[in-house]
Chain A
Amino acid sequence: MLYGSAVGEPRVRVMVVDDHPMWRDAVVRDLTEAGFEVAAAVGEGAQAIRVAAAVRPDVVVLDLHLPDMSGVKVTTGVLAAWPTARVLILSASGEQRDVLDAVKAGAAGYIVKSASRTEFLDAVRGTAAGEAVFSPGLAALVLGEYRRLAASPAPDTPRLTDREAEILRMVGTGLSYKQIADRLVLSHRTVQNHVQNTLNKLHLHNRVELVRYAIEHGMDAQDSYDTGDG
């Protein structure tokens, strides 16, 4: 069954990471029925990083709540193992700090587990197409993070433009990109770019911070997350 993908066009390869077997099976079934190629489904973080390097997925659907590793470490590890992967967080709504940290570490989007199947599949398609998948929850987290950065005395912290803040507020109150585009008389694409930009700035800032931290602590950047034999 290849709905949603033309013959001859390569299918989107998805890897599912969730430690709860029922959820993992449900997500895999939904993805397969919708025509995605599920390249792997694993239940642990370390395993996810190893497998990601081997199967080279386009999208990684990641539950942040894993038994062996924090969500941030898995996100960082997967992206280091296979940098073109795009990480979509599928997680419970109560893990805000983890979600924010994973997004800063490079995750491309976030959708809550209580979202409907259609919303979930749209999110996977959007992520594969390079969009930032923003749930209202993520918008609130990102707004809060920029607010926190603005209050910090450090120089060159990223700021939101007025337009970006306005759009994030609309996403936070449940408006879709299309509704936002209509209200602000912008193109759908422009709205998406603004949202994507807010994430890009956070990713960039996060990398700069990591490098700064590494330099201040007298080690090279590789050591900062690979504490092995460096």
Chain B
Amino acid sequence: MNIQASLWRSIAVFRLASLVYAAVLVAVDRADYAHLALAWVVLAGMTAWTAVTTAAYAVPARRTRVLLAADLLATAAALGSTALLQYPGSVTAAAMPVTATWVAGPVLAWAVAGGIRAGTVAALVLGACDLTLRHQSLDSVYRSRVLNGTVLLLLAGVVVGYVSTLASRAEQAVQRATEIEAASRERERLARGIHDSVLQVLALVQRRGAEVGGEAAEIGRLAGEQEAALRTLIAASAAGGLAAGEQDLRTLLTAQTSASVSVVTPADPVLLAGETAREVAAAVHAALDNVRQHAGQTARAWVLVEDEGPTVTVTIRDDGAGIAPGRLARAAADGRLGVSQAIQGRMRDLGGSAAITSEPGAGTQVQLTLPHPVAR
């Protein structure tokens, strides 16, 4: 829906209705007019101008500064002609000028075209014309009813200008949203395409490579890593609709998947504050680094993410060599605090905790627990 177009249509309707009102006023207040026939000529001119502006403003390309200026001048001229048409006594006694409310037409047009500022300018120009017409001195103006007309024009200019600005902003926002939606649909289409072809082939290469062994196994491993990376990329670009500053922990952790690391998560997003999520991901990264360095070449690792309502738990387990009893405590006593300390420190800073359990030959398990700050 085009809000601007309907504003312009409303202005055309307003002008037409005002024109009829002005004609009725001339007929009723004919006693005020020294040259009644001329007044009807001016009204005929106003009718013609109403027709011209209605046709011209209907087309966006014709809403030029020239037309707007001409509109203001024509209206001011019609307003000024009142001085010739009515008896001088009627004019200063604040009888309705020949233009009546029709005078507001260009104020509305300026406001819609140029916002509050343009609306105000047009209102002040026409208000000044009106006041000049009445020969009001500045000190008597404050107590005069004549000022009402100017104030109302000003009000119309400001309010309509404001509405027009809001409307065009809203239209831009809708436009942007439509573009974003189109872009995300395109991304989804690409993701589906990649899923149907590239990911399937990479997964197959990984599987066959592992069976054939030797150099093929290495190729398979690389294909597997690329598959995981590409899948993460697609998932990250498809994820939208997060509140500002929130982050789905699943997205960050799934990115650490590799041939030897599998990351498993619930189906629903695990939402944390962005900084918290990144800290947890860094702690998981440190734990996985530790696995790579100490658990042995062939060790595999699993990362289990659980969202338990009041807490979020991430468990990292490997099937590597494990740590001898007391070695962690000894390391701490020797001042070689290393990775476990880094992980525990990180989690403590977040208000959580980290528990490390290990047995020689049975791998190591690191459990990170974090209070859930996001209300469910």
A residues whose Cβ falls under 8 Å from a Cβ of B: 19-20, 22-23, 26, 65, 92-94, 96-97, 99-100, 113-117, 135-137, 139-141, 143-145, 147-148, 150-151, 169, 172-175
Contacts of B246 in A (CB 8 A): none
Contacts of B267 in A (CB 8 A): 96-97, 99-100, 141, 144-145
A94-B231, A137-B264 are known; give 5 further A-B pairs, CB within 8 A. A23-B203, A65-B196, A139-B264, A140-B266, A173-B315
A76 to chain B, nearest CB (A): 18
Q: Does B210 reach chain A (CB closer than 8 Å)? A: yes
Q: Does B92 reach chain A (CB closer than 8 Å)? A: no
- How many B residues have CB within 8 A of the partner chain? 38
Q: Which of B199, B211, B257 contacts A116 (CB 8 A)?
A: B211
Q: How far is the CA of A129 from the CA of B210 in the complex (A)?
A: 27
Contacts of A94 in B (CB 8 A): 195, 231, 234-235
Whether B317 pairs with A22 at a CB distance below 8 angstroms is no
Contacts of A144 in B (CB 8 A): 265-268, 306-307
Q: Does B349 reach chain A (CB closer than 8 Å)? A: no
The dominant DSSP class at the B interface is mixed
Q: How far is the CA of A137 from the CA of B228 in the complex (A)?
A: 14
Partner-contacting stretch, out of B82-90, B158-166, B297-305: B297-305
27 contacts between A and B (CB under 8 A): A23-B203, A23-B204, A26-B208, A94-B195, A94-B231, A113-B200, A113-B207, A114-B227, A115-B207, A116-B210, A117-B207, A117-B211, A136-B304, A137-B262, A140-B266, A143-B266, A144-B267, A145-B267, A147-B306, A147-B308, A150-B309, A172-B306, A173-B365, A174-B300, A174-B301, A174-B317, A175-B317
A152 to chain B, nearest CB (A): 11
Q: How far is the CA of A117 from the CA of B257 in the complex (A)?
A: 20
A94 to chain B, nearest CB (A): 5
A183 to chain B, nearest CB (A): 9
Q: How far is the CA of A96 from the CA of B203 in the complex (A)?
A: 17
Contacts of B268 in A (CB 8 A): 144, 148
Residue of B nearest to A97 (CB): B267
The dominant DSSP class at the A interface is helix
Contacts of B210 in A (CB 8 A): 116-117
Q: Does B105 reach chain A (CB closer than 8 Å)? A: no
Q: How far is the CA of A65 from the CA of B227 in the complex (A)?
A: 16
Known A-B contacts A116-B210, A117-B211, A172-B302; A136 and B262 likewise in contact (beta carbons under 8 Å): yes
Q: Which of B200, B227, B319 contacts A20 (CB 8 A)?
A: B200
Known A-B contacts A20-B196, A23-B200; A147 and B264 likewise in contact (beta carbons under 8 Å): no
A159 to chain B, nearest CB (A): 13
Whether A173 pairs with B304 at a CB distance below 8 angstroms is yes
Contacts of B265 in A (CB 8 A): 96, 140, 144
Interface mask (B172-212 → A, CB under 8 Å = 1, otherwise 0): 00000000000000000000000110011101101110110
Known A-B contacts A26-B204, A92-B195, A174-B317; A169 and B304 likewise in contact (beta carbons under 8 Å): yes
Contacts of A136 in B (CB 8 A): 262, 264, 302, 304
Q: How far is the CA of A173 from the CA of B304 in the complex (A)?
A: 6
Q: How far is the CA of A94 from the CA of B61 in the complex (A)?
A: 51
Q: How far is the CA of A218 from the CA of B196 in the complex (A)?
A: 39
Whether A140 pairs with B305 at a CB distance below 8 angstroms is yes
A63 to chain B, nearest CB (A): 9
Residue of B nearest to A96 (CB): B267
Q: How far is the CA of A136 from the CA of B199 in the complex (A)?
A: 21
B257 to chain A, nearest CB (A): 8
6 closest pairs, A vs B, by CB?
A: A144-B266, A174-B302, A140-B264, A173-B317, A172-B304, A96-B267
Whether B231 pairs with A145 at a CB distance below 8 angstroms is no
Whether A147 pairs with B266 at a CB distance below 8 angstroms is yes
Contacts of B309 in A (CB 8 A): 147, 150-151
Contacts of B307 in A (CB 8 A): 144, 147
Residue of B nearest to A100 (CB): B267
